[in-house]
Each structure stands twice: as structure tokens, then as C-alpha cells.
Chains A and B, each alone.
Chain A
Amino acid sequence: MTNKIWAYIDQFKGEALPSSWEAIGAGLALAESLGGGVTAIVFGENVGAIAEQAFQYGADEVLVADDATLGDYRAEAYTATLTQLAADSAPEVILFPTTSRGREVAGMSAVDLNTGVLVDVTALEVVDGAVIATRPVYAGKLLAKVQCSAKPQMVTLRGRAFAKPEADASRTGTPTGVPAALSEDEINVKIVDYATVSGGVSLTDAAVIVSGGRGVSNNPNLNPPDDLDEAGQEIWKAQQGFALVGDLADALGAAVGASRAAVDAGYIPYVNQVGQTGKVVAPDLYVACGISGAIQHLAGMRTSKVIVAINKDADAPIFKLARFGVVGDLFEILPPLAAAMKERLGQ
């Protein structure tokens, strides 16, 4: 007997992504209106530890497909397994974290099960037994209430929009094993290699982000090496600027973000881009350094709790969203700010 509400646990190489636990928390809140408990769904190879964690984070039941074919995430294999389980047990709601994998499995399984998927949801409510979700659309310029009339209602939750439950180490349970749906020769995609980027805080999970824009290269007092061409000299300068951004980020335990202008100019890789065509983030603290605040940048960070802007231009639109602003040169402000934060945080 499974519950009406399922939470899909996204994992990579045997480690659950933190936003997966938020899905259990959101599921438990829905269960208060819809009844029953929450069933966590764990796919992978050697993922027993994740199943244990799922109980600790509040799952009432955990279904585990532990199989070599599921060792690395592959869309076809994961989708087929989820579809089979859902077709057998008919859950009413399946919650996923909005990760690249969560989005994909939810979308594909929705095709199999002839239902729909509500993506990147930031709030959930139950009205007359139906789940109504709120999601930002048009890059957060508008909010839509959306609803899925077929079952299961597939919902992916925006990271950090729902509280992560406290883990309770005394909560335990026995996971239920379920089979993988495909055999290796039925899976078309083969993994050749990984290049994992190590360390650093991921932007979308970060509680604090320090971002740099085109302004990080604007310091006439720097003397780049002569053997660089003009573009090279600009990038060299930007590296000095981003080093200051990085120092503040280190002091705050923050991830480093960037504007598209900084990315396009080659100052920093695209994975760091915040905005409409980058990552959408909602940290507790967002520090924008040398970023003007174009509408496409704001689209990616406007829901941050506290925004701090450091910019030379008092008319920069970023100040309209900022709780605190400094009209000044980031090269002058960032070093003492990093030092002052370190001191206050006892480092």
C-alpha cells in the first residue's frame, strides 16, 4: 500500500541532492490536506543510505529500485521505472526537485501516464481536494496558478522555495525494493565519461551569492602584462576583480555568480551566469558588484531575500531592488568588506 503522495529523490553518484528533501517536506504539508503519508522514490545503485536518509527526513515509506542499469542516471531507464511504478500504484501527486534530471523524468513520465507536469513551482495549496500550484512565468515577471486535471499530478519544485525538513536520526524504516524496468540492452544511451566540477557551492542551492558584472574589469589603476592583446588585458583585469568577488564569497561561504556581460566577455564560465538565460536563484543574500541590473539579470535574482548592490553609478537600476547600496568603486569597497565580514563571522 503506497501513499497518495510521492517524493522523487534526485541523486548523483549515491548522494541525494539537498533539494530532494524539500520535496518530502512539501509532500508532508500536502498530506495534511489530502491524507496519508509520503512515499519516497529512490532510483540508483547502492542507494540504501539514501533510503535511510529519506526516512529520517520524514518519508513514511521508501520504494527503492537498486540496480546496475540505474547506476548512472539515464532518462529512458529512470522514466520507464517510474512509469511502471506509478501505473501500478496510482499515486495522486508526484513531487520532484526541479533539477535537470527531475524535470526530465517528470516530463517524460507525464507523457507515458497521459498526465501533465507543473514545472518549477514555488507554492502549493489544496483547494477542494485539488492541488493548485503557483509558478513564476516569463522569467518571474508574472506568476501563474496552474493545475493538472489528470493523475498523477506531476509537480517539480523550485529549489529553496520549500523548507527542508529537519532530519530526525531516530526515524527509521524498511525500504521496499522494486525492480528496474529496462535491461541494459534496452537502453539506447551509454555514458562515456564524466568531468565533474569539484568544490564550490552550487549557485542554485546557495544561501548566499556574490556576483560580478562588467564592472569587475573596470580598474584603470591595474597594469596588465604588455604581451596580452586588448581583450586579454581586459580579461586579466576582470580576473583581479573576480578575485575580490571570490574573497568576499569565501568570507560569506557564498557561491559566485555573474552577469551575462561578464560571461560573454569571457571573464567567467557560463555556469556562473545568473538571469533569464542563466540560472534563476533565490538566496537569502545576493551581493551584486559592478552589475547594472538589466531586466534579464533581475529576472534571475529578484526574489533574493536581501540584495546588496555595489556600483559606481547611482542611477543603476540594480539599486531599485537593493536593500543596501554603495555608490562606489568595487575595487575599493570589496577588500575591506571581505575583511569586515570575516571579522564579524569570527574567521
Chain B
Amino acid sequence: MNIVVCVKQVPDSAAQLTVEGGNISWGEAPLVINPWDEYAVEAALQKAGDLGGNVTVISMGKADETEALKHSLAMGCNEAVLISDPALAGSDNVAAARVLAAAIAKVDDVGLVFFGKQAIDSDTGTLPAQVARVLGWPTLTLVSAIDELSADGIKVERAIEEGRQVVKSRLPAVVSVIKDYGEPRYPSFMGIRKAARATIPVWALGELGIEAPAPVVAWPEVMAPQQREIATELITGGSPAEIAATLADKIMAEKVL
């Protein structure tokens, strides 16, 4: 059985964002693989052996958005596919889920699809469950460990608000991975060379055999948050005890306790 991992290309997490004329700009900041998705790639590579198949990494984006795919190839994924079509500009998450599901369905004999937890640009965190829903496959989100995996099924640990939950399901299934899974590997030198030379196939809607799903979520306005006027008051004093006492009084005076 094969594995698919879905990754997104996003502006670096250290980027300063600005809005100019309704367009979001990240200046000179590089575009990178969504940090959460590196954990998904790591999990996919670790588990490929258990299922005995290939790892295909898929990303939906603009025609030149191949950086996240190249990084995944450099980490060790076997194949990469870019889903790109001008008709997909402005897709919302349900639309993206339908497109990604169609792409996953085109890959042979898929047993597991891995996702990151959340994209750090749109910050929605719904796509893994939505792709599962479109495919009609079980959804196992926020997975911190995979305890058992074979063609017969999977047993995972999930992080929920109240602690950890252990669940089992059949395959094929969709898994989103969190940081607790373990540190992602660094691309090897050989991997980087191989990725640099790779030509990445692009699938447009024609190849997927679907029409562009009509988005229903619009972003009529994007703005910079209001700058908060914060007057910082530095607390000083002759001794730690004196500083602590003054600070305690100031905190009490804010009436937030």
C-alpha cells in the first residue's frame, strides 16, 4: 500500500506581514514548507516501510510553488505532484478538500494520507478532516503516535483537550500529525541534489477529471490589526522584594484578577 502526504507552501513563520491595497505581502521572506507539514512528511517516511509502498507528496498551489514539494523530496519522498490550475485561485477549504481528494484518488492503492495539523497562513486546520469526509475514509486528526500499522488497520494516539485518546480504525484512513510525533529529519545532501534535479509533474483540473469546485467563503477584507498603544512601565526598586511588592500592587490595580 502507498502513502500520500499533503503539504502547503507558506511564507516563513518569521515573516513580517503587511497589507497593501488589499494584497498580503511578506516582503523578502522566503516561502517554505508549512512547519506542521514537516512532521507529516516525517511520519509518512517512517511508516512507508510498514505498508511496503511509495510516499507521494502532493501540494496544491500556484504554478511556481514547488519549494515545499522539493523540501519533501529532499527529505526522502519518492514522488511529488503539484496540483495547479488558474481556475483554483480563490479556493476555500471545502473546495481544496474536493480537489485534494480527487488527486489522492488518482494515486494507486493508497493506504494512508498524512496531513499537517494546520496551515500557518490561513490557520484553519480543517482540511485533513474535510478530505477524509470527501473520500469517505476514517479521520484520525491530531495524531501524536502510531502504535500499530498494517494493511488490516491502524492504532493511533491522539492529543485532545483532555489528554490522550487511543483509537483504532480500518485503512485507508486520513491522519493529521502533530509535533509530538517527533522531530522531522533534515534533508540529506543526496536528497537535496536529487530534489533540485527533479521535474515535478503538474496536474491541472483536466488531469483530475473534475470541474473547479465553487468556493463559498470569501475574504472581503484583510487588514493589519490595530496597533495597541502599550506604554511599558519598568518596575525598579532597591531589592527584589521591593520590586515584587510594587509589581504586585500594579497588577492588582489593573483589576484583571
Q: List A residues at the B interface (Cβ < 8 Å).
A: 12-13, 17, 75-76, 79, 99-101, 103-104, 106-108, 110-112, 114-120, 132, 135-150, 188-197, 202, 204, 207-208, 252, 270-271, 276-277, 284-285, 295-296, 299, 305-308, 319-328, 332-333, 335-337, 339-341, 343-345
Q: Which residues of B lie under 8 Å from residue A12 when comparing CB positions?
A: 160-162
Assess the A208–B243 pair: CB atoms within 8 A.
no
Cα distance, A299 to B220, chains bound together (Å): 23
Q: C-beta contact mask, B119-163 vs A, less than 8 Å → 1, else 0?
A: 011111111011011100011111000000000000100011111
* A–B Cβ pairs within 8 angstroms, 15 of them: A75-B129, A75-B141, A107-B129, A111-B134, A117-B124, A117-B217, A137-B222, A138-B17, A138-B121, A147-B217, A193-B166, A196-B162, A252-B257, A285-B251, A336-B240
Known A-B contacts A192-B168, A326-B235; the reply to A138 vs B11 at CB < 8 A is yes
Assess the A119–B232 pair: CB atoms within 8 A.
no
Assess the A136–B216 pair: CB atoms within 8 A.
no
Q: Which residues of B lie under 8 Å from residue A106 when comparing CB positions?
A: 126
Q: List B residues at the A interface (Cβ < 8 Å).
A: 11, 13-17, 19, 24, 35-36, 92-94, 97, 120-127, 129-130, 132-134, 138-142, 155, 159-170, 173, 178-180, 215-225, 228, 230-235, 240-241, 243-245, 247-252, 254, 256-257
Q: Which residues of B lie under 8 Å from residue A17 when comparing CB positions?
A: 161
Q: Which residues of B lie under 8 Å from residue A118 when comparing CB positions?
A: 217
Assess the B123–A136 pair: CB atoms within 8 A.
yes
Interchain CB contact (< 8 A) of B155 among A119, A192, A296, A319: A192
Known A-B contacts A138-B11, A332-B240; the reply to A320 vs B230 at CB < 8 A is yes
Q: How far is the CB of B8 from chain A (nearest CB, A)?
A: 13
In the complex, the chain B residue whose C-beta lies closest to that of A188 is B138
Assess the B122–A137 pair: CB atoms within 8 A.
yes
Cα distance, A319 to B222, chains bound together (Å): 28
In the complex, the chain B residue whose C-beta lies closest to that of A273 is B179
Interchain CB contact (< 8 A) of B247 among A108, A115, A137, A326: A326
Cα distance, A149 to B166, chains bound together (Å): 38
Assess the A119–B216 pair: CB atoms within 8 A.
no
Assess the B166–A194 pair: CB atoms within 8 A.
yes
Q: How far is the CB of A266 from chain B (nearest CB, A)?
A: 12
Assess the A189–B169 pair: CB atoms within 8 A.
yes
In the complex, the chain A residue whose C-beta lies closest to that of B142 is A100
Q: Which residues of B lie under 8 Å from residue A79 when comparing CB positions?
A: 133
